[in-house]
C-alpha cells in the first residue's frame, strides 16, 4: 500500500520504454489491436507507439521487457463506492484498492461515497463532503491508483448555485441519483441539467433497491433524468424487466454501464441488445464495489471474460468496454493507447494451464488472464499479481 517512488530530481521528464510487446490492445473499439511492439512514454504520457527497431529507445530511465506478452490500457472501474483512503467500512475491508490494482485496474470512478458512516444529507454538509472527497483522493492515490471521487448524492432543496459552487471547487461528478431523497424525474432532470451546465458528470441508480434505504429507479425515470451514464443498467443487484432494459438500450445515447454486482443475465441482454443496435461503443464496465456483494479485486477482468465468453464477443473488443469506451465516455485522459494519453498500462499473459492457444482465446473461453505488471503515469506500480491466476510469462524491468 505504498505510493510509487517519486520522480528523480534531475529535472528532465522521466522516459519509459516498454519493448518486446507480443500483442498490443488499443482500447479503441474501431481498431482494438495495434500493429506495434514498443511504447515510449515521457513524463507519464505516451509519446510514441511503433516498432522497436525504428524507435529511439536510448536514455530511458526505465525499460520494461514485456517478454512477448500482452499490453492493454490500464482497466477503468466506472462504478465504485470508496469510503476513506484504502479502507471501506462496507465490508470492513482494508487495502481493497491495492487488491484491485492487482486485478489490472488503474483508474476508478466514484458513484458516490455513500457508505461513509454518518454521511451528511443537508445541503451544506453534502457539498462540504463532496469537496473534501475530491481533495482526499486527488491528494492520495492508494498504491498509485487514480480514484476520481467527490461525487455528491443530490437531495431535495439543492439550487443551481449549489452546483456552480461545487464545480468551482473542483467537483466533477455526481453520485448515483436515486440514493438520496430525489426520486422523481422532474427534479432529477433539473438538477442533472444544472450539473451538466457547470461541467459535472451525472449517473443514476438503475433498477431495484440495492440495500434497505435505496429505492426503485425505472426506465421512465432514467429517460426523464437524462444522466450522462445509465448507471448499472443490469441492476445493482435487482435488474429492471427485460422490456425496460431493451427500451433504455434503444433510446439512450449515453453510456450504458454494466456492473459486476448486477444481474449477469441482464448484463448479457444489454450486450446482445447493444450489439443488435450497433451501440457497442456505449458499453462501459464497473464493479459497484464495495457493496453488499463484497469487494471484487478481479471484478473488471471477470466481467470482460464473462461478456466475451457468454456474450460471444471477441476478447479484444471486451477489453475496450473497460478501457477506451470508459475513457471516452467519462472524458478521461486514459484508457487508450494513443500519443498524449496517460501511460497507464496493464501487462497480462494467458493464465497458466488455461484453455486456448493465446490470451485472447483463453479469455473468450471464460478464463481470466494473469496480470504480470501494472504501470501508472509511466511508473511501475505492481509486478506479478497476487490475485489473478499466474500469468504464463511475466514482464520485467531491465
Residues in contact with Zn ion by CB under 5 A are: 176, 205, 236
Dist CA 211 CA 283 (whole Å) = 25
Within 13 Å and on the Cβ side, how many CA atoms surround 41?
A: 24
CA distances 379 to 18, 30, 91, 369, Å, are: 11, 28, 31, 22
Residue (113 or 316) nearer to Zn ion, CB: 113
Question: Cell digits for 91?
Answer: 465490508
Residue (25 or 240) nearer to Zn ion, CB: 240
Residue (176 or 281) nearer to Zn ion, CB: 176
CB of 387 to Zn ion, least distance (A): 25
CB of 292 to Zn ion, least distance (A): 11
Residue (241 or 355) nearer to Zn ion, CB: 241
CB of 78 to Zn ion, least distance (A): 12
CB of 398 to Zn ion, least distance (A): 44
Residue (113 or 176) nearer to Zn ion, CB: 176
Residue (155 or 176) nearer to Zn ion, CB: 176
CB of 271 to Zn ion, least distance (A): 19
3-state secondary structure 153-175: CCCCCCCHHHHHHHHHCCCCEEE
| Residues 334 and 378 sit within 8 Å (Cβ to Cβ) | no
CA distances 165 to 4, 119, 130, 199, 220, Å, are: 33, 20, 11, 12, 30
CB of 236 to Zn ion, least distance (A): 4
Q: Which residues contact 144 (CB under 8 A, 6 or more apart)?
A: 3, 4, 101, 106, 374, 376, 377, 379, 381
Residue (112 or 389) nearer to Zn ion, CB: 112
CB of 207 to Zn ion, least distance (A): 8
**CA Rg, the chain, in Å?**
20
CA distances 18 to 95, 217, 292, 379, Å, are: 28, 46, 39, 11
Amino acid at each position: 500500500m505504498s505510493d510509487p517512488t517519486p520522480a528523480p530530481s534531475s529535472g528532465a521528464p522521466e522516459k519509459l520504454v516498454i519493448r518486446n510487446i507480443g500483442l498490443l490492445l488499443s482500447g479503441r473499439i474501431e481498431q482494438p489491436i495495434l500493429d506495434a511492439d514498443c511504447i515510449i512514454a515521457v513524463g507519464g504520457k505516451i509519446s510514441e507507439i511503433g516498432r522497436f527497431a525504428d524507435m529511439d529507445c536510448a536514455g530511458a530511465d526505465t525499460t520494461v521487457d514485456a517478454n512477448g506478452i500482452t499490453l492493454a490500457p490500464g482497466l477503468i472501474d466506472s462504478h465504485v463506492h470508496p469510503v476513506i483512503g484504502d479502507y471501506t467500512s462496507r465490508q470492513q475491508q482494508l487495502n481493497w484498492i491495492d487488491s484491485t490494482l492487482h486485478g489490472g485496474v488503474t483508474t476508478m470512478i466514484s458513484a458516490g461515497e455513500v457508505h461513509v458512516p454518518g454521511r451528511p444529507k443537508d445541503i451544506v454538509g453534502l457539498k462540504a463532503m463532496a469537496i473534501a472527497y475530491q481533495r482526499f483522493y486527488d491528494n492520495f492515490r492508494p498504491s498509485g491508483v487514480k480514484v476520481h471521487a467527490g461525487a455528491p448524492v443530490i437531495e431535495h432543496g439543492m439550487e443551481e448555485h449549489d452546483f456552480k459552487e461545487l464545480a468551482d471547487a473542483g467537483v466533477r461528478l455526481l453520485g448515483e441519483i436515486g440514493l438520496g431523497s430525489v426520486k422523481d424525474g422532474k427534479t432529477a432532470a433539473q438538477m442533472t441539467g444544472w450539473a451538466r451546465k457547470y461541467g459535472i458528470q451525472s449517473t443514476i441508480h438503475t433498477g431495484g433497491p440495492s440495500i434497505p434505504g435505496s429505492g426503485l429507479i425505472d426506465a421512465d425515470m432514467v429517460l426523464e433524468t437524462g444522466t450522462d451514464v445509465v448507471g448499472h443498467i443490469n441492476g445493482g443487484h435487482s435488474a429492471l424487466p427485460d422490456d425496460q432494459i431493451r427500451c433504455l438500450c434503444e433510446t439512450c445515447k449515453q453510456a450504458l454501464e454494466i456492473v459486476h454486482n448486477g444481474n449477469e443475465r441482464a448484463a448479457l441482454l444489454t450486450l446482445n441488445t447493444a450489439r443488435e443496435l450497433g451501440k457497442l461503443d456505449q458499453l462501459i464496465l464497473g464493479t459497484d464495489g464495495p457493496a453488499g456483494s463484497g469487494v471484487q479485486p478481479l471484478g473488471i477482468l471477470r466481467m470482460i471474460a464473462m461478456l466475451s465468453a457468454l456474450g460471444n464477443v471477441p476478447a479484444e473488443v471486451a477489453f475496450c468496454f473497460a478501457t477506451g469506451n470508459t475513457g471516452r465516455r467519462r472524458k478521461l485522459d486514459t484508457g487508450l493507447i494513443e500519443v498524449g494519453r496517460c501511460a497507464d498500462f496493464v501487462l497480462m499473459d494467458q493464465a497458466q494451464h488455461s484453455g486456448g492457444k493465446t490470451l485472447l482465446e483463453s479469455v473468450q473461453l471464460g478464463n481470466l488472464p494473469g496480470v504480470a505488471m501494472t504501470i501508472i503515469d509511466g511508473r511501475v506500480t505492481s509486478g506479478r499479481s497476487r490475485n489473478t491466476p499466474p500469468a504464463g510469462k511475466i514482464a520485467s524491468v531491465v
